[in-house]
Structure 1
């Protein structure tokens, strides 16, 4: 809720609007979209840093907001988050070992020596050394700090880890190392990831399923291979066309729209993301959509499934 400068009437901001997703244990759901589309807001609701004004989030069938007191108390050990910027998410006045161990101290997991031993073992699992326990965040590189952040998220052996753009602040070579680490830890601990990014290439590398978000709403949801092979929504095609590819021949094959019989290349999007305070009527993507129809400007598109397991929110698949 926000109060305009020269008006007494408040304006309503829906950062996340009618979003419904499901995650399967041991798999990764990638959530992709432009900056400001509501991805991080959704992530913070999953870990209970924000509460939704309506709707709910369920873990194993129980509400994370309205479940029993015992269930809610167990959530810090079952749901954890890796933040985008490890510099701001790690306490600069506390050694990385103490930052990781803090949650074990709060829950009184074992003796003090056992807790330290557990932290040192996890530091080695994420590619650091046990003696790094006593060092401070400023003594590490960006990639090493993110490894510390991963260790802190995994110390309680959670079921679900929300990764909110965990590699966007890292160099490309370091990104690959952190992504490989996340994959290795997932295989070892049977983790479930909600992986959030604005980069489809990164999401495609780590995800089993991908959901595409625009202006607080879901546009498309499909298995990774199906979405990359035949994207249905014009916005998804635009995102795919923007993925950098090294070789020109590969770029042409990558950017060709499967639904276009002429094999034309995708065009860049025109205009900027509309303000969430004043979303356009009808389909939120209609002011920028190269395939916009009159119905798109007046009616919100339904959520349909043109193919098995592949859902889209678009009028292109409802018209005769």
Structure 2
């Protein structure tokens, strides 16, 4: 039976492993590199009467596994990687304690639209599998889609804009804007700030000038102070959206040909979990041209405030009409 002591152990254990949690976009399993011996000792120091075996059982109940050595290498390790994760974890806690929204964002991998093979299997009448094309050449009319996701870390809900053009910073921020207008505003009507956790590269990368320009426009439009924390290099699997949302979408459509935009939107929107995940999705049919240049002057006009710790990764953009 779940006792008060067990619930307390659950809470403290997850608090310890959360800053060092990784995930796989194709699997709901979460990984931690901390050993059960380390965790049980830390819990004992906190006053819990608990051993390694019980810690293993609690980790399994929380959806964790110990990460194998062969999967640890994720690219060059930055010396401040762990410190950055602790910084992000603390920022998330502060925002959540103040009832301010915290979102994790990323682009899911591009998907071919049409009667193409989709990895995985599903139950079908014997001898009647879906027929798909032999070769995976993009359909000239349907092309590919770029699903850009926004995951609310507090409410366990998400948004996906299914883009049909280029994956640019303009598309990324428009996806965040749609989440805010369709979902975020209703959940956080008193919000003055928004925290975004994002990878360090891609359309929402910390080096991308257009990303900051578009965030300034969003901040001005909505009167929100936008804070951004980027994951350190080589750690994309640690992004919360990967294992809390994208993995479940992948499982929901495995084995199903993504024959149209409508099918893709419906499969995303019908993705749920036992933990209560709910997702809204829609097609974004806008054009997002690549190669938009941002001048030094335009960048200097962004109302940007860098954090003392790695200001290139951690910064805030305030509305120009703000009273800050």
Q: Which category describes the TM-score, using the shorter chain as reference length?
A: under 0.3
TM-score by length of 2: 0.25
The structure in which a higher percent of residues are strand is 2
